[in-house]
Structure 1
Amino acid sequence: MYMYAVTILVSLVFLHILLKLWFPYFVPEFLYVLKTIAFGLRMSKYKKKQPFYTILDCFLDAVKRTPSKPFIIFENRTYTYMDVDKQSNKVARALRTHTSLKEGDTVALFLGNEPCYAWVWLGLAKIGCATALLNCNIRSKSLSQCFSCSGASVLIVAEGLKDVVEEILPALLEQDIAVLILTKGCDTAGMMSLLDKFEEASDEPVSAALRSAVSRKSPALYVYTSGTTGLPKAAVITQERLWAATFIQSLAGVTSKDIFYINLPLYHSAGFSIGFAGAIEKGLTIVLRRKFSASQFWDDCRKHNVTVIQYIGETMRYLCNTQKKADDRDHRVRLAIGNGIRADVWKEFLNRFGSIQVRELYAATEGNIGFMNLSGKIGAVGRVNYIQRKIFPYLLIKYDTEKEEPVRNSEGLCVEVLKGETGLLVSKITEKAPFNGYARNLQQTEKKRLRNVLQKGDLYFNSGDLLRIDEDNFIYFQDRIGDTFRWKGENVATTEIADILSMVDCIKEANVYGVRVPGHEGRIGMAAITLKEDKQFDCSSTFSHVASYLPAYTWPRFIRIQSQLDITGTYKQKKVKLVDEGFNPAAIEDPLYILNEREKSYIPMTQKTYSLIASGQMQL
C-alpha cells in the first residue's frame, strides 16, 4: 500500500514537471475551460426557471444567506446586504407611488459613485424597469442625445448635477419626462424631489409580481459606448448578458471572502457589470469610492483589507507614478482585474507593489467575445483556446486602415491574417454569442455587423479593434480603428468633438483624431481645423467653448491649423497621415497650438514644450 502511494505521488510529480516543460499553460487553460463549462451549465439552469433567475434574485438570495454581511463600504459607513435591500424596497415603493412607472419602462440614472446607485438600481429592478447609466461627465447636446436614445421616461439626478440638467430641462419637459432629483426638497419647476419620498416609504419587500414578465432577453441596462462615428450609443445589456459579465470575477479567481475595491465609474460596464453586479454574484463586500485617487489608493486598500482591485491602464500608470514609499508592498491585494495596461507599466507595477496576479482581459460592452489572461504573460489579453474558439468562433482578418474597410479576396470574402500579423477581430453572431445592438439606432447597429466573412451569408460582429496572435497563441491588443480613440480610460468619439469645435465662430471645419504621447496610455485628442474667411484663430474663445461643452478627457489638447482638410474620394476626412505626423513642431509646417488650462487658452506649441512632453517632464 505504501509503495502504491509512493508510485502515485512520483507519477503526479513527474506529470507536473512534464506539463511545466511541454505544456506550460495547460493548467490555467484547463481551469478556464472548466469554469466556462460550469457557467454555461448554471445559465442553462437559470433559463429553465420561470420567471428567469436574474441578478436581482441572486441579490435577494444573498440577503437571506448573509443579511448582516457588509455589502458596501463608503466613506467610513458600512451598509449590509439587508440595509441595501431595505433601501431598495423604499426606492421601489416611492417610485410606484409618485410616478407612473411600470414593468418594462426605462429610467435613466445621472449619478456619480455613491451607495444610492446600488439601491436605486435594485429598486428599479424590483419593479421590472431597465436602467440607462448616463455618464455624469456629459453635458448639453451629448446629455440630451444619450437620454433620448434610451427611451427613458424618467430621469433620476444627483443633487450635484442639478445645474447640468436644468440646461436641458425645457426639452425634457416638452417630452413629458419626469425629472426626479435626490434631494429632500426642490424649488425648480419641472423637477420633483425624491429623497424625501424614499425616506417616507416603507421598507417592506415589494411583490415579485411587479416584475413577473422579465425574461433573459429583457433589457437590464443601457450602457453608453462611443462607436466609430457619432455621439455615444446605448448598448443593450440584457439580463442574460449581465450575468455573463458577472462571470468575469469567478473566471479571475474571486471568492465570496474577497473584499473588492471599486473606484471606476459605475456608469461604465467595468465598474457596474464586472464590479458591482459581479460582487452580487459572489456575495462579497465592496469598497466603493467616488473617483480614483492615486495618492489614497493603497491607504484605502490597507484600511479596508482589500484583496481585489479593478483597473484600467491609466490607473496603473498613475499608481506607478506616485512617490515610492516604504510600505508600497504592505497590503493584502492579491488580484487585479482590468484592461489596457501597457507591458512596461505591468512590469513596474509588479516590481513595486508585489506579486499581485494581474488578470488582464479583453471585452467590449456590446461585443460577443472576450478573453482573459490567466497565465500572467505580461502584455497579453488572453490565449487562443480551442474549446472557446469552437463554441464562440472568432478570427483576425486583414484590414485596410486607409480605406477603413476589411480586405477582401476575389470572391468577396475576408482574408484571415497569419500568426504574428495584426488583424481586425471579428466574432460570429450566434444564439450563444448574440449581438444585441444599440437602442433606437438601427444604423449604428448594422455598422457593427459584418457579412460574408468566411462564406457567403455568414454574419460576424465587427469589434473595431486590431489584435495580434503570436507563435505561442497569446493574444495582444494593438489598436482601435475608425473615429474612436481612448484617453484617460474613456472612449472618445471624434465626430462629436468635431461638431462642437465647428460651432466656434472662427472655425470652418474640424477633423479630430487621437495621437500617441510618450509615456501615456491610449491617444490624446488633436484637431486639424480650417478657419473661416477673414478670421483669425481665437485662442481663448476656443478654449472657453471646448471647456463649456465637453468633458475634460475629450478636449483636443492640440490644434493644427490647415489651409484645407484632406478628404477621400467619398468625401471622408483623412486621419491616418495626421495621426502619424502627431504634434511635433519640427515635423509640421502648419501652425500648432496646445491647450493651457492655467491660462484658459490655446497657446503656440513650441519645440521646447514638445521636448518636455516627449521626455516625460510634462504630463498631459
Structure 2
Amino acid sequence: MEIYFISFILASIFILPIALKTFSPYVWMDFLYFGDLLRILVRFVARRRRRPFFFVLDRFLEQTAAHPDKPFVVFEKESYTYTYTDTRSNKIANALQTLPDYKAGDTVALFMGNEPAFVFTWLALAKLGSPVALLNHNIRTKSLLHCFNCCKAKVLIAASELKEAVEDVLPSLMEQGVTVLLMAKHCDTPGIEAFTDKVDEASDTSLPRSLRSHITFNSPAVYIYTSGTTGLPKAAVVNQNRLLTALAILSSNGVLPSDIIYVNLPLYHTAGFLIGFIGSIETGSTIILKRKFSASQFWDDCRKYNVTVVQYIGEVMRYLCSTPKRDNDKDHKVRLAIGNGVRAEVWREFLNRFGNIHVREFYASTEGNVGFVNYVGKIGAIGRVNFLHRNLFPYTLVKYDTERDEPIRDANGLCVEALKGETGLLVSKITDIAPFVGYAQNEEQTERKRLRNVLKKGDLYFNTGDLMRIDKDNFIYFQDRVGDTFRWKGENVATTEVSDILTISDCLEEANVYGVQVPGHEGRIGMAAVTVKKGLQFDGSKLYKHVASYLPSYARPRFIRIQNAVEVTGTFKQMKMKLVEESFDTGRIQDPLYILDDSVKSYTPLTAQVHSSIITGNLKL
C-alpha cells in the first residue's frame, strides 16, 4: 500500500505540471505575477510608513549615494552622472531661491522639450517642495495660456528655443505678475529673465529637508495635461502618493540597474515622465534621452548606446516597421519593449523583423485608477484578468450605447454588465486604494469622469472612456474610445477643443470634428464637417494659418468637409456616426472636400487621385 501511495505521489509530481500547462497554460505566469504584485505592495506600504515621509526624490538621493559616478542621463554627446544631476539640480534650486517673487512650495510651470535641463529642473523643484506643471512644448497662444492658468503657477521656466512662444503670451503673463525665466545666458526681451547664468553662479549645496516639510502624500507633485472628452487640455493632478507608486513600473516589468533605457517619448507626457524618468529612478538605470522620436535613427541609437530597454506607443512600433529593411535589423541588445497601443499585426511584424524582444504591453491613463499589464505576452492583449487584481482594484465592463454616448441601464437605473466576449465600457471603482484625484481647477470635468449607481445604488466608479473586451481565457483587449476624443500620433485629441478653435476663425460658422481611420495608420486622423459663414467664401490659406497658430500639428484637422448645415440630434448634439462612416471618401461624398497641405500651407481640394494615393499608402499622413 505504501509503495502504491509513493508511486501516486511521484506520478502526481510529474503529471500535475503537464496537466496544468494543458488545461491552465498561464497558471505559472499568474503565480509569478501575483508574487510581483505582492512584492510591490509590501515595498510600497513600507515606504508609506517611513518617517519623515519618503518620496520619489528620496529614492533619487539613495541612488546617488549608492552609485554617484554612474551615468544617469546621456544626451547626444554628453553624459551626466547621478552626482552631477544632483549638484546641478541643487544649483537650479538655489538660484530659484534668490528670486524675489518665488518661495519654496510655489507651483512652477515647466515649458521644455526633452533635454537634461528638464530632468535637472524637475528635481530642483522637488527639492523645493514645488508642484510642477509639465506643459506640452507644442502648444501655443490660447492653449498655452489655458494650460498655464490651470495650475495657478507663479513661475514659468522655458527652454531657450521656446522664447517666441513665450513672447506670444507674455503680456498676459506680465499682467498676472508671473516670473518668466528662460534657460539661456542672455535675453533682451523685457519681462523675460535669462536664468542659466544665475544657475551657473549659484551654490551647489544641498537643500534642507525643511523646505519640503509641508508636503504630504496627498500633495500635488506634477500636473500632466490630457485631452479628455471635451474642451481644452485638462491638468490631471498626480499627487505624491501616485508618483511613489509609479516608481514600481519599470522594476515590476523586469528592468534592472544594469539596463540602459531609451527614452524618446515626450517627458511632458505620462509615458516619458512616469515610466521612462521616474521608473528609472527606482531601478537606478541609465537613461538615453532623445530630443524626439526618429524612426530612421532609432536602431542606430540603440546600437550606439547599447540600449537594452525601449519605450513605445503604438505609432512608434508602426513607424519602425515602416522603415526600409536592413541586414542588421536584429543586430542590437534590446531585450524589452514596454508601452501601450500596439496593434496585433504590428506586434507580430515587429518581432519577426527585429528579433526576440519581450513586449510588455500595458494599459493605464494619466488620471485613471486602474491599469493592466500583459505579463503573459499574448499578442494583441493589453492585460489579463485575475482574481487578486480584481479584488484589489474592483472594475467591470458595462454595456454601452455608442449612439446615445452613455452606459445602458436596467429598469432599476443600474448599469448592465457586459458578458464575457462582449464589448463594454471599462469602469473602475473609486476606493482609498484606487482613488481618482481629478483635474486642477476643473470640477465639472472631474465630475464627468465619475459614474454613479453602477452595480448598486450609491456606488462610485471612474469612467475610463475606453471600450474593452474580455475573452474566454481572461485576456482583456482594447477596442475603442468613446465620446468626443480620438487618438492620433500617440496624442489624445479633444474634438470640442478643435471645434472651438475652428469656429473662432474668420470664415467658419459651425464645425463638427471627429476622427476617421486611415489604412496603414494607427488611431484616427482629424476631420471636420463645417459650414461657412453667410456671404463668405472658404479660404484654405487663412484657415491653415489659423489652425497652425492655435493647435499642435497632431490636432489640426487633416480633412475639411463643407456642408450647408451641420446635422444635429433632437437634443442638439452633433451627429458623427454617419460622418465617421463616410470618412473622406470622394466616391461617396458630394460635399466639397479639402486636405491640409503643409507644403503650400493651405487646405487644398481633395481629389479622387489624392484619395486613392492615401488609401493605397503612396501618400503618408
State the TM-score, normalizing by the size of structure 2.
0.97
What does the per-residue CA deviation read over 1:125-147, in whole Å, with 9 as the maximum and x for residues that have no partner? 00111100000000010000000
Aligned partners of 1:351 and 1:7: how far apart in 2?
Answer: 44
User: Partner of 2:359 in structure 1?
Assistant: 358
User: Partner of 1:400 in structure 2?
Assistant: 401
Q: Is the 8 A contact 1:51 1:214 kept in 2?
A: no
Q: How many Å apart are 1:18 and its aligned residue?
A: 2.9
> Aligned runs of 1:299-448 on 2, under 5 Å?
299-448=300-449
Q: How many Å apart are 1:297 and its aligned residue?
A: 0.3
Aligned partners of 2:346 and 2:194: how far apart in 1?
Answer: 46
Aligned partners of 2:523 and 2:398: how far apart in 1?
Answer: 23
> Aligned runs of 1:523-534 on 2, under 5 Å?
523-534=524-535
Q: How many Å apart are 1:15 and its aligned residue?
A: 4.1
User: Partner of 1:157 in structure 2?
Assistant: 158
Q: How many Å apart are 1:101 and its aligned residue?
A: 3.0
Q: How many Å apart are 1:50 and its aligned residue?
A: 2.4
Give, as a single letter, the amino acid of the residue that structure 2 aligns with 1:303. K
What does the per-residue CA deviation read over 1:93-148, in whole Å, with 9 as the maximum and x for residues that have no partner? 11111244334321000000000111100000001111000000000100000000
Give, as a single letter, the amino acid of the residue that structure 2 aligns with 1:461. F
User: Partner of 1:485 in structure 2?
Assistant: 486
Instruction: From the superposition, tell whether residues 568 and 54 of structure 1 become closer, same or farther in structure 2 (CA, over 3 Å).
Output: same
Task: Determine helix, strand or coil for the equivalent of 2:133.
Answer: strand
Task: Determine helix, strand or coil for the equivalent of 1:128.
Answer: coil
Give, as a single letter, the amino acid of the residue that structure 2 aligns with 1:29. D
Q: Is the 8 A contact 1:111 1:117 kept in 2?
A: yes
Instruction: From the superposition, tell whether residues 99 and 31 of structure 1 become closer, same or farther in structure 2 (CA, over 3 Å).
Output: farther
User: Partner of 2:596 in structure 1?
Assistant: 595
1:579 aligns with 2:580: yes
User: Partner of 1:281 in structure 2?
Assistant: 282
Aligned partners of 1:389 and 1:456: how far apart in 2?
Answer: 20
Give, as a single letter, the amino acid of the residue that structure 2 aligns with 1:616. G
Aligned partners of 1:7 and 1:162: how far apart in 2?
Answer: 77
Q: How many Å apart are 1:566 and its aligned residue?
A: 1.1
Q: How many Å apart are 1:302 and its aligned residue?
A: 0.6
User: Partner of 1:475 in structure 2?
Assistant: 476
Task: Determine helix, strand or coil for the equivalent of 2:595.
Answer: strand
Give, as a single letter, the amino acid of the residue that structure 2 aligns with 1:554. A
Q: How many Å apart are 1:11 and its aligned residue?
A: 6.7
Aligned partners of 2:27 and 2:468: how far apart in 1?
Answer: 23
User: Partner of 1:64 in structure 2?
Assistant: 65
1:255 aligns with 2:256: yes
Question: Which deviates more from structure 2 when the two are superposed, residues 157-166 or residues 33-42?
Answer: 33-42
Q: Is the 8 A contact 1:451 1:460 kept in 2?
A: yes
User: Partner of 1:552 in structure 2?
Assistant: 553
Aligned partners of 2:473 and 2:9: how far apart in 1?
Answer: 31
User: Partner of 1:233 in structure 2?
Assistant: 234
Give, as a single letter, the amino acid of the residue that structure 2 aligns with 1:306. V
Aligned partners of 1:159 and 1:363: how far apart in 2?
Answer: 33
User: Partner of 1:55 in structure 2?
Assistant: 56
RMSD of Structure 2 on Structure 1 (CA) = 1.6
Aligned partners of 1:171 and 1:49: how far apart in 2?
Answer: 43
Task: Determine helix, strand or coil for the equivalent of 2:295.
Answer: coil
Q: Is the 8 A contact 1:51 1:213 kept in 2?
A: no
Q: Is the 8 A contact 2:369 2:430 kept in 1?
A: yes
Q: How many Å apart are 1:9 and its aligned residue?
A: 9.8
Aligned partners of 1:293 and 1:36: how far apart in 2?
Answer: 34
User: Partner of 1:292 in structure 2?
Assistant: 293
Give, as a single letter, the amino acid of the residue that structure 2 aligns with 1:415. V
Q: How many Å apart are 1:609 and its aligned residue?
A: 1.6
What does the per-residue CA deviation read over 1:281-300, in whole Å, with 9 as the maximum and x for residues that have no partner? 11111000000000010011
User: What percent of counterpart residues are identical?
Assistant: 61
Aligned partners of 1:116 and 1:16: how far apart in 2?
Answer: 53
> Aligned runs of 1:481-520 on 2, under 5 Å?
481-520=482-521
Task: Determine helix, strand or coil for the equivalent of 1:533.
Answer: coil
User: Partner of 1:184 in structure 2?
Assistant: 185
Q: Is the 8 A contact 2:141 2:549 kept in 1?
A: no
User: Partner of 2:175 in structure 1?
Assistant: 174
Q: How many Å apart are 1:504 and its aligned residue?
A: 2.1
What does the per-residue CA deviation read over 1:196-247, in whole Å, with 9 as the maximum and x for residues that have no partner? 1110011111111111121111111100000100000000001110122232
Instruction: From the superposition, tell whether residues 219 and 10 of structure 1 become closer, same or farther in structure 2 (CA, over 3 Å).
Output: farther
Aligned partners of 1:535 and 1:403: how far apart in 2?
Answer: 34
What does the per-residue CA deviation read over 1:394-450, in whole Å, with 9 as the maximum and x for residues that have no partner? 001111111111111100000011111111110000000000000011010000000
Q: Is the 8 A contact 2:400 2:424 kept in 1?
A: yes
Aligned partners of 1:113 and 1:320: how far apart in 2?
Answer: 24
Question: Which deviates more from structure 2 when the two are superposed, residues 602-611 or residues 234-243?
Answer: 602-611
Instruction: From the superposition, tell whether residues 520 and 50 of structure 1 become closer, same or farther in structure 2 (CA, over 3 Å).
Output: same
Q: Is the 8 A contact 1:32 1:251 kept in 2?
A: no
Aligned partners of 2:459 and 2:104: how far apart in 1?
Answer: 36
Identify unmatched segments of 5+ residues in structure 1: 1-5
1:128 aligns with 2:113: no
Aligned partners of 2:11 and 2:358: how far apart in 1?
Answer: 29
